[in-house]
Amino acid sequence: MSKKILITGGAGFIAHHLIDYILKNTDWEITTLDRLDFSGNLNRLKEVVESFPEKDKKRVNVVHHDLKAELNPEIISTIGKVDFIGHLAAGSHVDRSIKYPLEFVMDNVVGTVNILDYARKVDGLERFAYFSTDEVFGPAPRGVNYKENDRYNSTNPYSASKAGAEELVVAFENTYGLPSFITHTMNVFGERQNPEKYIPMVIKKVRDNEKVVVHANPEKTKAGSRHYIHAEDVSEALIFLFNYDHGKFIPDETGAKCQKFNIVGKDEIDNLELARFIAKCQSKKLNYEMVDFHSQRPGHDLRYALDGTKMKEMGWEPKSSYSRLEDTVKWSLDNNRWLKI
């Protein structure tokens, strides 16, 4: 009998890639819970689902709900029985969180409590996954790659709200025995990403011969860097974790039971190098300007870095970001509608 997964935020960028991956690689049935705000775009989900045969299209059920409200009996009945829950719905725009911090507490903290409270009452739930971010650790000095249980140092309300939600997941496992895990993922890219994000923005600016702004240190000599990872690799990692035997893990010496996993891109790429690579893919010369990142974007960090050893030792590694990036550039140029703001 096939499994059934509930995915929150299914019309969002990463979640719609997860749905695509599940349809291609499993026989699971999917219910997606979404409120369809500016982060969610039903056209993403429709474009993916419409590419599959009719029997696979029927495996996807879309339920409209805003997680700031608890799941009422009608919504719960519509969802039906589920084996897995992937909680990917979240407010994720750092600049917006700085301007409207309470909005992010409501979406990312209150919203998480509501899906957790539903999850703890689901009979036979095999696993609850909370999709978090590398930003909970704050900036990473050169040479430092944070491990899963290192200290947190949120530098903006977005990352703080994600860290707060993580602790609620931990609490629900400790209090109610909810079988959970938490992932930290670095900067994700891929098809149908919001054109305000760095990679699609650079693709568009290079195509249109516009200047690309590259965030750098105060001296404007060193660009910021990230371990970029394609959304398909993230999806593959999540399904790997859902299927993994978590019974192999035992609480650490502090008694912590809820496992955390870093999903890390194969290559650390500085943003100038990244922009040059995107320009090279288009056979163009990069027109750019280095700017002091903190003056331009307070609350952002120059470098994030995670240690992916744990997942590698478990048997999962991502593919090269460069080959994925070249494919994404080509796809974006061929599908121009997704570069329009």
CATH of the domain at 37: 3.40.50.720
Is residue 249 located within the same domain as residue 278? no
Is residue 236 located within the same domain as residue 282? no
Is residue 245 located within the same domain as residue 184? yes
Is residue 252 located within the same domain as residue 270? no
Please, are residues 212 and 286 in contact by the beta-carbon 8 Å criterion?
yes
Any domain includes 315: no
Is residue 153 located within the same domain as residue 300? no
Average pLDDT of the residues in 316-333: 94
Any domain includes 339: no
Any domain includes 27: yes
Q: For the chain, how many residues are written?
A: 341
Any domain includes 98: yes
Is residue 215 located within the same domain as residue 171? no
Is residue 33 located within the same domain as residue 146? yes
Place of tokens 């200047």: 211
Is residue 215 located within the same domain as residue 240? no
pTM, whole model, 2 decimals? 0.94
Any domain includes 259: yes
Give the number of domains in the chain.
2
Please pick, among 20, 135, 166, 191, the residue that the annotation labels catalytic: 135
Please pick, among 134, 233, 236, 301, the residue that the annotation labels catalytic: 134
Any domain includes 309: no
Give 149-195 pLDDT, tens digit per residue: 999 999 999 999 999 999 999 999 999 999 999 999 989 999 999 99
Least confident of 5-14, 32-41, 213-222: 32-41
CA 40 – CA 188 distance, rounded (Å): 16
Query: What tokens does 98 get?
Result: 């700085």
CATH of the domain at 275: 3.90.25.10
Is residue 71 located within the same domain as residue 126? yes
Is residue 151 located within the same domain as residue 258? yes
Is residue 273 located within the same domain as residue 176? no
Residues 6 or more apart whose Cβ sits within 8 Å of residue 34: 8, 9, 10, 11, 12, 40, 42, 62, 63, 64, 65, 89
Q: Is the pLDDT of residue 38 over 60?
A: no
What's the Cα-to-Cα distance from 47 to each of 17, 86, 265, 330, rounded to whole Å? 11, 21, 26, 18
135 is known as an active-site residue: yes
50 is known as an active-site residue: no
267 is known as an active-site residue: no
Any domain includes 177: yes
Is residue 141 located within the same domain as residue 290? no
CA 82 – CA 33 distance, rounded (Å): 13
Please pick, among 21, 130, 146, 158, the residue that the annotation labels catalytic: 158
Least confident of 43-47, 78-82, 157-161, 281-285: 43-47
Any domain includes 341: no
Domain that holds residue 328: 193-226+266-304+320-334
Give 82-140 pLDDT, tens digit per residue: 999 999 999 988 889 999 999 999 999 999 999 999 999 999 999 999 999 999 999 99
